[in-house]
DNA sequence: AATGAGCATATTGTCAGACAATCTGTCAAT
DNA sequence: ATTGACAGATTGTCTGACAATATGCTCATT
């Protein structure tokens, strides 16, 4: 990631069909159009998107590498599922990486980043009471994005993005609980303040704590699901 | 990762052409057959491997997702290069992840893992004096692999593998320096002992330290390279 | 000599069609 | 209920084709 002195970057709008397909599929998986465990059949995707198998398949390879789909040989790709154990591991890693990001943001205190963080935080406060939580989610996403950029480590950035993509597979969780929103906002405020005041340890701790809390809820919900699913399969 | 009670697993030898190609390309990049910055031309790859464009392209997409190649639109893939800054970031993340792996190994102390670690360490001691360093490298790789498995977090495992793949792009470094080998062995011993004695903090610290040392050398070498390269381009 | 226009070539991006290999479910036979 | 065979569905892979784009070269112009 090089940066020209004066920012007249023409960021190479790398637009190719397969990238569009990739993005399209990613969001389709993210927003639940394709549910975890669902098979993705090439021919159907071709029809739905109107592009050839080549592009579809290449896009799928990319998603596969990111762990968003699992490809079973001679059976094709299915949207990844995630077990409670894996989710626990995912959050564990995410806590570590996001802790790092928070720490680095607090250390660098890049004014641009600080401004973005605060702006998104304020938006969150404004839209928290809405029934429709999509605005809140968007603001939160933006908040994280700013923090990622602020950490200045492209690898952390990339990996965290991959993790976040997979977290969206567990959408039902964290935010569904009503008063969790208030808690969540408080935690985010703690993060923000720590970053703004340059409290590196505090920022890291706050991030880790925030993820841990989210993880606890998500994992518990997953475990419950798995338990009932196991029972049902017993009955059958 | 499910495990049958008695191990008669037929671990689905998922062998498809594109996976073979993928592996082949990965090692070709790793062992320097394809040098950083080199273009990879589809048709040439087809001829060299004897497979069709389809499989080649899909394999390339996978490598692209792993960051081993950069694909420039309408120009095709080139073997990734890495700047000194990026290398620094890479090592920073690697230190964090490997520190975590070390800590977890020390906490769990799975006998199987411990045995593997020690075995590889002893092999290292035996082959350290050879001129040909490939045996040493192999043992080291195995040591890391064992540590990764031991950490019990599939995501950490996966990400670290990706990072390690990219580190091999910087092969010239760390090990080239003669007495660095001795230092390195000592550091690894420190790691091993800490893990064996269950000293979680010590294990983490030792891992981080080990990577930091390797990083220092690698990054310095890279910076030097970049400086001379910059000069040469000035002359020209 | 340096600049710029325009053309030729190389290579990727994408498609369609084809066929073998493999998986899955069904149905008959035991 | 278990087994075995068959048929249909889907992937894995190849081939050939063509448009879109990037790069390098030639040549005229200044």
Q: Which 8-state DSSP code applies to residue B70?
A: E
pLDDT at residue A1 in the model: 47
Within this chain, do residues B101 and B155 fall inside the same structural domain, yes or no? yes
Within this chain, do residues B92 and B151 fall inside the same structural domain, yes or no? yes
Beta strands in chain B (DSSP E): 69-72, 76-79
A175 lies in a domain? Answer: yes
Within this chain, do residues B107 and B67 fall inside the same structural domain, yes or no? no
The number of domains in chain B is: 2
A3 lies in a domain? Answer: no
Residue in A1, A64, A159 closest to B159 by CB: A159
B8 lies in a domain? Answer: no
Q: How far apart are CA A190 and CA A183, in angstroms?
A: 11
A10 lies in a domain? Answer: no
Q: How far apart are CA B62 and CA B26, in angstroms?
A: 10
pLDDT tens profile A47-97: 999 999 999 999 999 999 999 999 999 999 999 999 999 999 999 999 999
Using the predicted structure, report yes or no on whether residue A179 has a pLDDT greater than 90: no
Using the predicted structure, report yes or no on whether residue A236 has a pLDDT greater than 50: no
Percentage above 90 pLDDT, chain A: 71
The residue out of A79, A100, A128 marking a domain boundary is A79
CATH code of the domain in which B174 resides: 1.20.120.530
Cβ atoms of A61 and A158 closer than 8 Å = no
Residue in B18, B64, B154 closest to A89 by CB: B154
pLDDT at residue B22 in the model: 96
Within this chain, do residues B33 and B125 fall inside the same structural domain, yes or no? no
The residue out of A63, A79, A95 marking a domain boundary is A79
Within this chain, do residues B101 and B195 fall inside the same structural domain, yes or no? yes
The residue in chain B having the minimum alpha-carbon distance to the alpha carbon of residue A156 is B93
Q: How far apart are CA A205 and CA A149, in angstroms?
A: 19
Cβ atoms of B217 and B177 closer than 8 Å = yes
Chain A residues with CB-CB distance to B93 below 8 A: 153, 155-156, 159
Q: How far apart are CA A51 and CA A228, in angstroms?
A: 40
Residues belonging to chain A with any Cβ–Cβ distance to chain B shorter than 8 Å: 1-2, 12, 14, 16, 18, 54, 57-58, 61-62, 64-67, 73, 86, 89-90, 92-93, 96-97, 100, 152-156, 158-159, 163
pLDDT tens profile B44-57: 999 999 999 999 99
Using the predicted structure, report yes or no on whether residue A46 has a pLDDT greater than 70: yes
Chains A, B: CB pairs < 8 Å = 67
pLDDT at residue B1 in the model: 44
Within this chain, do residues B108 and B167 fall inside the same structural domain, yes or no? yes
The residue out of B29, B52, B79 marking a domain boundary is B79
pLDDT tens profile B143-177: 999 999 999 999 999 999 999 999 887 765 555 56
pLDDT at residue A235 in the model: 44
**Helix (H) / strand (E) containing B114:** helix B111-127
CATH code of the domain in which B75 resides: 1.10.10.10
Phi and psi angles of residue B76, each rounded to the nearest 5 degrees, phi first:
95, 180
**Helix (H) / strand (E) containing B226:** helix B200-235
Average pLDDT over residues B107-126: 95
Within this chain, do residues B54 and B125 fall inside the same structural domain, yes or no? no
Question: What region, left, alpha or beta, does residue A209 occupy, with left being phi > 0 and alpha being psi -120 to 50 degrees?
Answer: alpha
- Among A93, A150, A157, pick the best mutation site for testing chain B contact (most B Cβ within 10 A): A93
B127 lies in a domain? Answer: yes
Residue in B61, B93, B152 closest to A156 by CB: B93
Mean pLDDT of chain B: 88
Confidence of residue B228 (pLDDT cuts 50, 70, 90): confident
Average pLDDT over residues B11-40: 89
Sign of CA dihedral B181, B182, B185, B187: negative
CB contact under 8 A, A89 and B16: no
Using the predicted structure, report yes or no on whether residue B9 has a pLDDT greater than 70: no
B17 touches strand D (CB under 7 A): yes
Using the predicted structure, report yes or no on whether residue B233 has a pLDDT greater than 60: no
Which residues are B71's β-sheet partners? B77
Confidence of residue A4 (pLDDT cuts 50, 70, 90): very low
CA distance B180 to chain A (A): 27
CB contact under 8 A, B93 and A65: no
Within this chain, do residues A52 and A132 fall inside the same structural domain, yes or no? no
pLDDT tens profile B198-212: 999 999 999 999 999
Mean pLDDT of chain A: 88
CB contact under 8 A, B96 and A100: yes
Within this chain, do residues A70 and A97 fall inside the same structural domain, yes or no? no
CB contact under 8 A, B152 and A58: no
Q: What is the DSSP string of A30-90?
A: HTTSSPTT-B--HHHHHHHHT--HHHHHHHHHHHHHHTSEEEETTTEEEE----HHHHHHH
Average pLDDT over residues B5-16: 62
Confidence of residue B112 (pLDDT cuts 50, 70, 90): very high
pLDDT at residue A178 in the model: 65
B1 lies in a domain? Answer: no
Within this chain, do residues A188 and A175 fall inside the same structural domain, yes or no? yes
A18 touches strand C (CB under 7 A): yes
CB contact under 8 A, B96 and A92: no
Using the predicted structure, report yes or no on whether residue A153 has a pLDDT greater than 90: yes
Percentage above 70 pLDDT, chain A: 87
Using the predicted structure, report yes or no on whether residue A6 has a pLDDT greater than 90: no
CA distance A138 to chain B (A): 26
A98 lies in a domain? Answer: yes
B178 lies in a domain? Answer: yes
Q: How far apart are CA A64 and CA B66, in angstroms?
A: 11
Which residues are B79's β-sheet partners? B69
pLDDT at residue A50 in the model: 95
pLDDT tens profile A156-170: 999 999 999 998 877
CA distance B178 to chain A (A): 30
pLDDT at residue B14 in the model: 63
Using the predicted structure, report yes or no on whether residue A3 has a pLDDT greater than 70: no
Using the predicted structure, report yes or no on whether residue B133 has a pLDDT greater than 90: no
- Rounded, the Å distance between the CA of A177 and C1' of D9 is 43
The domain in which residue A41 lies consists of 17-79
Within this chain, do residues A176 and A125 fall inside the same structural domain, yes or no? yes
Within this chain, do residues B152 and B183 fall inside the same structural domain, yes or no? yes
A43 touches strand C (CB under 7 A): no
Confidence of residue A234 (pLDDT cuts 50, 70, 90): very low
Q: What is the DSSP string of A42-54?
A: HHHHHHHHT--HH
């Amino acid at each position: 990631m090089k940066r020209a002195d004066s920012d007249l970057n023409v960021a190479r709008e790398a637009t190719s069909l397969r990238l569009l397909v990739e993005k399209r599929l990613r969001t389709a998986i993210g927003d639940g159009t394709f549910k975890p465990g669902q098979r993705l059949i090439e021919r159907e995707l071709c029809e739905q998107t109107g592009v050839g198998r080549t592009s579809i398949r290449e896009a799928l390879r990319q998603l596969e590498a990111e762990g968003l789909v699992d490809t079973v040989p001679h059976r094709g790709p299915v949207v990844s599922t995630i077990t409670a154990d894996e989710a626990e591991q995912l959050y564990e890693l995410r806590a570590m990486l996001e802790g790092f990001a928070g720490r680095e943001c607090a250390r660098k205190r890049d004014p641009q980043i600080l401004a973005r963080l605060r702006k998104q935080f304020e938006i969150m406060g404004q839209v928290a009471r809405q029934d429709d939580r999509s605005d809140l989610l968007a603001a939160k996403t933006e908040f994280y994005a700013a923090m990622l950029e602020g950490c200045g480590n492209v690898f952390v950035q990339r990996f965290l993005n991959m993790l976040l993509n997979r977290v969206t597979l567990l959408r039902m969780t964290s935010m569904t609980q009503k008063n969790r929103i208030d808690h969540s906002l408080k935690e985010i405020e703690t993060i923000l303040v720590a970053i703004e005041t340059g409290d590196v340890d505090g920022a890291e701790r706050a991030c880790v704590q925030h993820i841990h809390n989210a993880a606890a809820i998500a994992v518990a919900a997953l475990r419950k699901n798995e338990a009932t699913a196991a029972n049902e399969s017993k009955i059958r």
